[in-house]
């Protein structure tokens, strides 16, 4: 397989980013030829001999959107549009996965599909609007798996201010945590614990209503 690949094509074949390829070339780990216009071209047999003798595996780009509740469907559609426009602008063919469920829920159908695709090696890129759209807690663990599987993670809005929908989403997750712990405390048959938990719930719900 002596076809010359662009840096984007080579990166997709290897499941890494274009930046990684440039870093490897600078370190002398791989070599690239140059076109008359000065653009990099790679021969797969030179940079990854083990792949040159295999049928090419197309690694997909997955775009993931999530909200916590049915009344946030408008925000879910907004996330989808942002992901679609961003991926299209990059020229990426992609699969859009959307979930409706708490960021504390690790058993959502879309999330499980996403994780299975990453683990089986057929995902080359994961695109999110925000980091916490993946999971409220535990996203770093998923990102570590992505790194081990050479999956590029693209977060469109890094460090952007949170929106009303995201604040509301966080409130849903806080209420879920409270519900879990309250169930455990209720088992202790403590009237004091019940009063504390109910008070916290009331504060969170009032905050949501004011927003």
Would you name the residues annotated as active-site residues? 68
Q: How far is it, in rounded angstroms, from Cα 68 to Cα 166?
A: 9
- What are 67's strand-pairing partners? 100
DSSP 39: -
Segments of the chain assigned E as strands: 4-5, 33-34, 40-43, 60-67, 94-100, 123-128, 152-155
The three-class DSSP label of residue 190 is coil
CB 82 within 8 A of CB 129: yes
Burial of 89 (0-12, 13-18, 19+ CB in 10 A): exposed
Q: How far is it, in rounded angstroms, from Cα 159 to Cα 141?
A: 19
Two structure tokens written together for 31 = 């070599």
Q: How far is it, in rounded angstroms, from Cα 14 to Cα 196?
A: 54
């Amino acid at each position: 397989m002596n076809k010359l690949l662009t840096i984007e094509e080579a990166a997709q074949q290897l499941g890494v980013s274009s930046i990684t390829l440039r870093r490897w070339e600078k370190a002398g780990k791989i070599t690239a030829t140059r076109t008359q216009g000065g653009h990099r071209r790679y021969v797969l047999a030179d940079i990854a001999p083990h792949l040159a003798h295999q049928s090419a595996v197309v690694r997909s780009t997955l775009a993931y959107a999530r909200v916590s509740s049915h009344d946030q469907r408008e925000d879910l559609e907004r996330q989808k549009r942002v992901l679609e426009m961003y991926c299209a602008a990059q020229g990426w063919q992609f699969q859009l996965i959307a979930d409706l469920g708490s960021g504390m829920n690790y058993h959502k159908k879309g999330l499980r599909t996403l994780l299975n695709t990453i683990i089986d090696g057929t995902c080359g890129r994961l695109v999110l609007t925000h980091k916490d759209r993946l999971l409220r807690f535990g996203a770093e663990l998923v990102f570590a798996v992505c790194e081990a599987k050479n999956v590029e993670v693209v977060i469109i809005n890094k460090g952007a201010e949170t929106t009303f929908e995201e604040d509301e989403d966080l409130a849903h997750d806080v209420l879920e945590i409270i519900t879990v712990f309250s169930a455990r405390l209720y088992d202790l048959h403590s009237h004091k614990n019940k009063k504390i938990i109910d008070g916290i719930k009331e504060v969170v719900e009032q905050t949501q209503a004011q927003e």
